Amino acid sequence: MKKMLISLLAGITISAVGLYLAFRNVPFSDLILYLGSVNYFWIIPAVLASLASFIFRALRWQVILDSARETSRSWPGIPLWYGFHVLMIGFMLNCVLPGRLGEVARPAILQKRDNVPFSTGLATVAGERVADLLVLITLFAIVFSTVQIDPDLTIAFGEYQLNRETLEMIGGGMIKLMVIMLAGIIMVSFSATRQVINGGIMGIPSLFFFAGYDFKQSIREKICTVLVGFVENVASGFALVRSPKKTMLCMGLSVIIWGIQAFSYYIVSLGCPGIELSYPHIIAVMLIICFFIALPSVPGYWGIWEAGGVFALGLFGISAKDGAGFTLINHAVQVFPVIIAGLVSAMIIGVNIWQISYEKGV
């Protein structure tokens, strides 16, 4: 509990510093005036749209979990609304704790309450991230084939220079990560390649040719067998890829998720003076923010989100004052309802999030 409180207080402090870095060049009085001119009526439908995207995230996760369960009947099916609550708890922790540790909390909850192997649950979360990467990179390629990114536009944020070069670096890194993850998924998902991996693991004791039989047997039982079990559990989590129909369903849901998320951004813009952008332009803004928050940052991405938003909106001629006001409000719309929903979900299903976090090293 003490460790969690320290992490939370540290996260709040660092987030405040991040916001200062993002807004230090925007006069505070101008920002306050802008925030006072916003039509906050649009916040309500924007929040509803944002939360709706998480329902589709829960549905996507259920599809992935059901595919994993088909390979192992040792744990029960995960109902949609229960999965939604677990998902909201995970995203809530991502907003308040560093290192996206909420991704670890989700499989931890399923392991503790539903006997889902932790490595299987973690693999299903990794599968979600791969689907998100595929959609984001595809959208990035489509959108930015038509959007000109001024090579001279730069927003300084701490040690980062947010510009076209940084975007290209992040995009390249995402593509490499996606390729590596896809290769790993394919290798463990299909029996032929998985048998090669397991065979290599079980052959580890033979490397100790100088050791006796008892030592080799101990390595085989305590290390090799455990690693093989881990590989099999991970393969169960990636069982979706063996079903083209379910894989396409998962990708279709991913497109819907990001489409709704962008629509939430668009609704916020309707109440913000000076933000007169089309839906495709708002998608471009969302993508740039998503790419920039991939940089190491504070819990909830405070500061880097705002700086990335100011940069993105600047491409469409939006002033720094208007861009800062919009991104701050939009960020709050995307984060605070998730935190509240996550806390409510923890109470509904009776999860002690502090205990789960502590047990998994959060």
Indicate the burial class of 184 (C-beta count within 10 angstroms; 0-12, 13-18, 19 or more).
middle
Q: Which residues, listed in sequence order, are joined to residue 173 by a DSSP beta bridge?
A: none
Q: What are the residue ranges spanned by the domains of the chain?
A: 2-202+232-359
| 245 vs 293: CA distance, rounded Å | 32
> What does the pLDDT profile of the chain (362 residues) look like in tens digits?
455 555 545 555 554 554 544 445 555 666 678 788 889 999 999 999 999 999 999 999 999 998 888 776 666 778 899 999 999 999 998 888 776 778 888 999 998 888 888 999 999 999 999 999 999 999 888 877 888 888 888 887 767 788 888 888 888 888 898 899 888 888 888 888 888 898 988 888 888 877 888 888 888 888 989 999 888 888 888 888 888 899 999 999 999 999 999 999 999 999 999 999 999 999 999 999 999 888 876 677 878 888 889 899 999 999 888 888 899 899 999 989 999 999 999 999 887 766 665 555 54
> Can you tell me the distance from the alpha carbon of 119 to that of 186, in angstroms, rounded to the nearest whole number?
16
Q: Give the integer Cα–Cα distance in Å for 138 and 252.
A: 13
Residue type, 8: L
Q: What are the structure tokens assigned to 169, written together?
A: 């670096």
**DSSP letter, residue 1:** -
Output Rg (C-alpha) for the chain, integer angstroms: 22
Q: Report the alpha-carbon distance of residue 288 to residue 136 in Å, rounded.
A: 10
Residue with tokens 């409000």: 329
